[in-house]
Chains A and B, each alone.
Chain A
Amino acid sequence: MTAPVLEVSDLRVRLRTPRGPADVVNGLSYTVGPGETVAVVGESGSGKSVSVLALLGLLPARVATVSGRALLQGEDLLTMKPERLRQVRGPGAGMVFQDPMTSLNPVLTIGRQLIEGIRAHGDVDKAAARRRAADLLGEVGLPDPERALDRYPHELSGGMRQRVVIAIALSNSPALLIADEATTALDVTVQAQIIDLVEKLQAERGTGVIWITHDLGVVAGIADRVLVMYGGRCVEDGTVDDVLERPAHPYTRGLLGALPDLAEPVDGVVPDLATVPGTPPPPTDLPKGCVFWPRCPVRGDARCEHEQPPLAVIGSAAATLPHRAATWCTEGPEGGRAG
């Protein structure tokens, strides 16, 4: 197997909040291979954004304490010197943020925002950087890229802005692309176009992708693997087929609950995550045992309340991409865990 692009182990993030320390990410481990897409799903507040911001050192230093290891092409992002981290941001990992209305600087032209990113990583003269910027805008499907360079963000629609943000993220041909709900704010058609674009670029360049989303239609469409987050932990991961068709964790089953057929849009509408009754635990006050315990409809084991279930392999341990879940509960659609 080729070396993974990203290898995260035991990532933990603690944030200082007015209501005390918040354990927002609690021991997250996963890998992203070249050309592979890992979808991260979970309710709002489960720590998805914080966990990826932590990778690139984008959390406010005064508030966040990050520990663990995150090897990007073999180099640990979390212990990197600031100057090295700066060099890695861009060519190593590009990031697309959720809100295209706020993630561009309103007072600088699109061209300037692209060009400065290109020129921060190599000795490129202005004219060459400008040509490259126009090419990138063309690649992400912006009409009339030459002219778009001299426009300001407010002159473009949300969908067009998000393409610009994607162009910026891709401008240094990153080994890893992180998309944090990159299409959530966009309408379905634009969403589909952007997903196509990322898949195309991924196929061409072998980029590893972390795709954070609420949208199970997207997950089924583009992901190779799925990671389900709850309370800052990975409660279940595995291949798309394993997780979506044979969910093992009660939380995952809850999320998938009301969905008729995951892969197929119903009447053109892509299914979204189902609502699980109750609310996630506050990260300032997590349950002692299983994080899902307060809301779990199963609670099938005496240890549920007091002992944290480990993320254990279910199904065939020999599979190259094992299916894992963190629950004591042993019943499932397949009759439980073997292993």
Chain B
Amino acid sequence: MFALVHLVPGDPVRLALGTRFSQETYDALRERSGLDRPLVEQFFTWFARALGGDLGVSFRSGDTVTSLIAERLPATLTLAFASILVALVIAIPLGTLSALRPRSVVDRVATVLSQIGISVPDFWMAIVLILVFAGTLGWLPTGGYVPLSEDPGGWLARLVMPAVVTGVVSGSVITRFVRSSVLEALGADHVRTAQAKGLPTRQVFTWHVVRNALLPLVTVTGVQLAYLLSGVVVVEIVFSWPGLGQLALQSVEARDYPVLQGAILLFALVFLVINLVVDLLYTAIDPRIRR
């Protein structure tokens, strides 16, 4: 991962200095950043510092990488959780209804919609939304971000469109999972046992079908959340959303290695944490996993 970052062609020092600079300035900065030393040595230096919470300093702005990431984190967390909420609100009812009436009109419509949601590029969906809701109707601002604490109305107005775009994409994927896992749960033998006991239909459905379909839902939601948290670059750019995806992209363009490494480290941590949470939920949901 570290090596990969450094393999990106382009010279960060050259880019940081702009077009006019002397050889002395260049060498000085290169030495100060440690870029003149061997790659392996650079890695261990970086790694040792990272363990202590020091991710270095941006080549471009001179700010510490931790402060840059901390600045972007609220926007990314906001968008990711709003999107997953939109996704689940779409996917759970739609997937369940489809599974209850396979091949019905609802099921067919849901299948087509989720196919569209998966295959339509997100930037296209984003642009259409901006044209309609910010342009023609003028209901929502075209983009940007304000913290919730400063302006709750503005926060929500700016959050709606990006959250819908990413939520629809994730929701389309999750809908399919919900459909197939509910369908599988419906066909299970124990559902027949529950019916034969004379339980009311709703109780059978809640406790013997949905309850059993939760496991795959938790897995796919975790995967989608990890994806959303690692920055949805295109959507962030279209909506000028100051998230981590944007930061990562800018640091690639500037060959700003410390920032890029910091962002990637954070994404890796996000994956680890989400995996851990998914595992914990698994244990809570499925007694067969408990020991």
Which A residues are within 8 Å of any B CB, using their own CB?
53, 56, 58, 82, 86-91, 94-95, 97, 99, 102-109, 113, 116-117, 120-121, 152, 154, 165, 168-169, 171-172
B200 at the interface (CB under 8 A from A): yes
Give chain B residues whose Cβ lies under 8 Å from the Cβ of A56. Answer: 196
Give chain B residues whose Cβ lies under 8 Å from the Cβ of A102. Answer: 188-190
Give chain B residues whose Cβ lies under 8 Å from the Cβ of A91. Answer: 198
Task: Fill in one digit per residue for B103-125: 1 if any A CB lies within 8 Å of its CB, else 0.
Answer: 00000000000000000000000
> A90, B198: Cβ atoms under 8 Å?
yes
**In the complex, A116→B192 CA distance in Å?**
14
The answer to whether A154 and B288 touch (CB under 8 A), given A97-B192, A103-B193, is yes
The 21 sampled A-B contact pairs (Cβ below 8 Å) are A86-B199, A86-B200, A90-B196, A90-B197, A95-B196, A103-B189, A104-B190, A104-B193, A105-B190, A106-B212, A106-B287, A107-B211, A107-B285, A107-B288, A116-B199, A117-B197, A117-B199, A120-B200, A152-B288, A154-B287, A172-B198
Chain A interface main SS type: loop
A102-B190, A107-B211 given; name 8 further pairs at CB < 8 Å: A56-B196, A86-B200, A89-B195, A104-B190, A105-B207, A116-B199, A120-B199, A152-B288
The answer to whether A105 and B200 touch (CB under 8 A), given A97-B189, A168-B193, is no
**In the complex, A58→B189 CA distance in Å?**
11
**In the complex, A90→B196 CA distance in Å?**
7
**In the complex, A58→B285 CA distance in Å?**
28
Which B residues are within 8 Å of any A CB, using their own CB?
188-190, 192-201, 203, 207-208, 211-212, 285-288
User: Looking across the interface, which residue of chain A has its beta carbon closest to that of B215?
Assistant: A107
User: Looking across the interface, which residue of chain B has its beta carbon closest to that of A168?
Assistant: B197
Give chain B residues whose Cβ lies under 8 Å from the Cβ of A120. Answer: 197-200, 203
Give chain B residues whose Cβ lies under 8 Å from the Cβ of A104. Answer: 190, 193
> B198, A117: Cβ atoms under 8 Å?
yes
**In the complex, A121→B287 CA distance in Å?**
28
Name the contact of A105 in the complex, choosing from B198, B208, B285 (C-beta under 8 A).
B208
The answer to whether A116 and B190 touch (CB under 8 A), given A107-B211, A107-B285, is no
> B287, A107: Cβ atoms under 8 Å?
yes
- Going nearest first, the 10 A-B pairs with the smallest beta carbon separation are A90-B198, A89-B198, A117-B197, A102-B189, A105-B190, A152-B287, A95-B196, A103-B193, A103-B189, A120-B199
